[in-house]
């Protein structure tokens, strides 16, 4: 009898594996957790998109008030969809959004902002995408919440209006 049981082990193991793989199917690998969360922001100094503004440096993010860094480009369709939400967010008290213009033509980026409005305190130009790599960017738009020069939260993809209430605003509130 004892020997018979042994023959069922492979069947049971296979069943467990089937279950495991079945549930793994619904894992969303497009949203990876980022290793830069909890770390200091990468060092950078980017020329501003606005003529009357100074370079956008990482030092601007070392501040007691939380900052949002949004990585965008004019060629990025979801960025366009997200822009209204950023406009709304920028109007809230004590919220400052900085932009990194990722692999874009500065002229097109300016048109993008002129057309849709400017939620950004400053925008740095990252034409080569090198600063983007330093931030671990792989699919824009990506947004980061920064506090005291430390990355607190990363949002991949466009921020939906519902996510503003559910995640972004509560985090900002906690930091204040």
Partner 1 sequence: MKRIGLFIIFLAVTFYNFGNLFSSTDSSRELNLFKEIRCLVCQSQTIHESNSELAEDIKLLIREKISEGKTDDEIKQFLVDKYGEWVLMTPRFNQYTYLLWGAPLIIFIIGFWFLSNKVRRFKENKE
| Touching partner 1, residues 132-171 (CB under 8 A) | 132-136, 138-139
Going residue by residue from 6 to 45, which x/- string records binding to partner 1, judged by CB under 8 A?
Answer: -----------------------xx-xxxxx---------
Q: Does 105 bind partner 1 (CB under 8 A)?
A: no
Query: What sign does the CA torsion over 55, 97, 168, 137 have?
Result: negative
In angstroms, rounded to a whole number, what is the distance separating the alpha carbons of residues 176 and 159?
Answer: 21
In angstroms, rounded to a whole number, what is the distance separating the alpha carbons of residues 41 and 176?
Answer: 19
Q: Does 129 bind partner 1 (CB under 8 A)?
A: yes
**Looking at 31, 108, 130, 160, which residue binds partner 1 (CB under 8 A)?**
130
H helix intervals, 60-126: 77-91, 106-116
Task: Enumerate binding residues for partner 1 (CB under 8 A).
Answer: 29-30, 32-36, 103, 128-130, 132-136, 138-139
């Amino acid at each position: 009898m004892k020997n018979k049981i042994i023959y069922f082990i492979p069947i049971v193991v296979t069943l467990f594996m089937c279950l495991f793989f079945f549930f793994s199917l619904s894992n969303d690998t497009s949203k990876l957790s980022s290793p830069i969360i909890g770390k200091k922001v990468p060092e950078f100094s980017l020329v501003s998109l606005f003529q009357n503004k100074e370079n956008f440096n990482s030092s601007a993010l070392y501040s007691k008030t939380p900052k949002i860094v949004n990585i965008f480009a004019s060629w990025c369709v979801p960025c366009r969809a997200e822009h209204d939400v950023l406009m709304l967010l920028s109007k809230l008290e004590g919220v400052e959004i900085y932009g990194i213009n990722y692999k874009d033509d500065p002229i097109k980026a300016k048109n993008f902002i002129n057309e849709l409005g400017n939620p950004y305190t400053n925008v740095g130009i990252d034409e080569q995408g090198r600063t983007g790599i330093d931030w671990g960017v792989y699919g824009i738009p990506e947004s980061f919440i920064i506090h005291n020069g430390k990355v607190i939260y990363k949002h991949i993809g466009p921020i939906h209006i519902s996510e503003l209430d559910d995640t972004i605003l509560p985090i900002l509130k906690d930091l204040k």
